[in-house]
C-alpha cells in the first residue's frame, strides 16, 4: 500500500504498557506490508518512565514521532495534538491501553474502501474487565446526552476510529478550546460507518478516569454540544410562575376562610424556589465558564519538545 497511515496514540503514565503497545502496532503494520506509516504518540505530561521508553523507541525507528507536553493537559488535548501532527491518508486513533486491538486496522481500512465512507468508528459489542457501575453509567450518559443534544451520538463508542484525510483536515480547522473529540467527529458529519468489535480488558496500568473526572467530562460535553439545559431552565421558570399563581389562589382562599397556613408549607416553598434559582444560576454559570475559556484564547496545550518531527511539519497551535 502506497497510501500513508498515521496512528495517533495519546499516553499518560503508561510505562507498564506503552512498549507492548508500540510493538503490537508496528507488528500489525509490518505483517500487512504497510511500510508508509507514522506513529504519533502524544505524551500528556507523564510523570513516570513513559517518555524515556518513547525516546528509546523513537531513536531506533524514525517513523515513531513523539509530541511531549509541558504538563498534563488531558486526554482530549493529547488526542487533538496527535491529529494536528498527523499527515496520513488513513488516520487511526487508538488508546495506549490495548483495549482496542490494533489487529483490526486492516479490516477497518477494507471497510472504508468498500463502503466509500469517511469515518469508521468502533462500536463495542462487549467491554471486558469493566465494572457493572462503569458500564451502566456509560450507557446512561450516552442516552441522556442524546436526549439533550441536537445531534445524535452513536452509543457504546470510544475514540477508536479510522478517518480519511478529508475528515482530518476539517477536524484540524476546529478552533474551540475544550474539545470532545468523538463528539466533534459526529458533529462534522460525512459518511460514517460502525465497526463492531469485542473490547478487551486493559493489558496494563490503570484507567486515568475516575468517577469524578468522568462526571466533569460528561458535564463539559453536555454544555458544549447542547443548548437544551438553558431551555430547561426557562421551562422550569415558567412552571414556577404557574405554581406561584396557584399558590396565590390558595393564599386568597385561606385569607377568606380565615384559616392559618402552617410554617412547614412556607419553608418548603422557599426551599423549592431557592433550589430552582440555584439550578438556573448553575446552568448559566456552566455556559459562562465555556465562554470564559474561549475568550481567554489560551492554547489547548503547550508542547515542551518533539522527537522525529521536522520543523516545517510542525502545526501552528
d(CA 309, CA 307) in angstroms, rounded, equals 5
Structure confidence by residue, pLDDT tens digits, 34-85: 989 999 999 999 999 999 999 999 999 999 999 999 999 988 899 999 999 9
Q: Report if residue 219 sits inside a domain.
A: no
Residue 211 CB partners (closer than 8 Å, separation 6+): 137
Regarding whether 261 and 199 lie in a shared domain, the answer is no
pLDDT given for residue 296 in this prediction: 72
Regarding whether 286 and 304 lie in a shared domain, the answer is no
Closest Cα partner for 225 from 140, 149, 143? 149
pLDDT given for residue 137 in this prediction: 62
pLDDT given for residue 74 in this prediction: 87
- Which residue numbers in the chain have pLDDT < 50? none
Regarding whether 161 and 22 lie in a shared domain, the answer is yes
Q: What are phi and psi of 157, to 5 degrees?
A: -120, 160
> Is the separation of the CB atoms in 85 and 305 below 8 Å?
no
pLDDT given for residue 85 in this prediction: 94
Structure confidence by residue, pLDDT tens digits, 215-250: 666 666 666 666 666 666 666 666 766 666 666 666
Q: Report if residue 128 sits inside a domain.
A: yes
> Is the separation of the CB atoms in 83 and 51 below 8 Å?
no
Regarding whether 185 and 75 lie in a shared domain, the answer is yes
pLDDT given for residue 141 in this prediction: 64
In sequence order, the β-bridge partners of residue 285 are none
Q: What are phi and psi of 49, to 5 degrees?
A: -90, 10
Regarding whether 282 and 178 lie in a shared domain, the answer is no
Q: Report if residue 44 sits inside a domain.
A: yes
Amino acid at each position: 500500500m502506497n497510501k500513508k497511515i498515521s496512528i495517533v496514540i495519546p499516553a499518560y503514565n503508561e510505562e507498564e504498557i506503552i512498549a507492548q503497545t508500540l510493538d503490537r502496532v508496528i507488528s500489525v503494520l509490518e505483517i500487512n506490508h504497510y511500510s508508509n506509516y507514522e506513529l504519533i504518540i502524544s505524551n500528556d505530561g507523564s510523570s513516570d518512565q513513559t517518555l524515556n521508553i518513547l525516546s528509546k523507541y523513537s531513536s531506533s525507528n524514525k517513523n515513531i514521532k513523539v509530541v511531549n507536553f509541558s504538563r498534563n493537559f488531558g486526554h482530549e488535548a493529547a488526542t487533538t495534538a496527535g491529529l494536528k501532527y498527523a499527515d496520513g491518508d488513513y488516520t487511526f486513533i487508538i488508546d495506549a491501553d490495548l483495549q482496542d486491538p490494533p489487529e483490526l486496522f486492516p479490516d477497518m481500512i477494507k471497510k472504508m474502501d468498500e463502503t466509500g465512507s469517511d469515518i469508521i468508528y468502533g462500536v463495542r459489542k462487549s467491554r471486558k474487565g469493566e465494572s457493572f457501575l462503569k458500564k451502566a453509567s456509560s450507557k446512561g450518559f450516552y442516552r441522556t446526552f442524546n436526549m439533550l443534544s441536537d445531534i445524535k451520538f452513536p452509543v457504546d463508542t470510544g475514540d477508536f476510529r479510522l478517518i480519511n484525510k478529508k475528515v482530518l483536515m476539517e477536524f484540524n480547522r476546529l478552533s474551540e478550546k475544550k474539545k470532545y473529540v468523538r463528539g466533534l467527529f459526529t458533529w462534522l458529519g460525512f459518511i460514517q460507518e460502525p465497526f463492531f468489535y469485542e473490547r478487551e480488558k486493559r493489558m496494563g496500568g490503570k484507567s486515568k478516569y475516575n468517577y469524578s473526572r468522568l462526571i466533569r467530562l460528561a458535564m463539559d460535553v453536555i454544555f458544549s454540544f447542547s443548548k437544551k439545559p438553558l431551555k430547561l431552565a426557562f421551562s422550569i421558570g415558567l412552571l414556577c410562575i404557574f405554581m406561584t399563581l396557584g399558590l396565590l389562589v390558595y393564599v386568597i382562599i385561606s385569607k377568606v376562610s380565615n384559616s392559618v397556613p402552617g410554617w412547614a408549607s412556607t419553608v418548603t416553598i422557599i426551599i423549592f424556589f431557592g433550589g430552582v434559582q440555584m439550578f438556573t444560576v448553575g446552568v448559566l454559570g456552566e455556559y459562562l465558564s465555556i465562554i470564559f475559556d474561549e475568550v481567554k484564547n489560551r492554547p489547548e496545550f503547550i508542547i515542551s519538545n518533539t522527537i522525529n518531527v521536522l520543523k516545517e511539519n510542525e502545526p501552528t497551535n
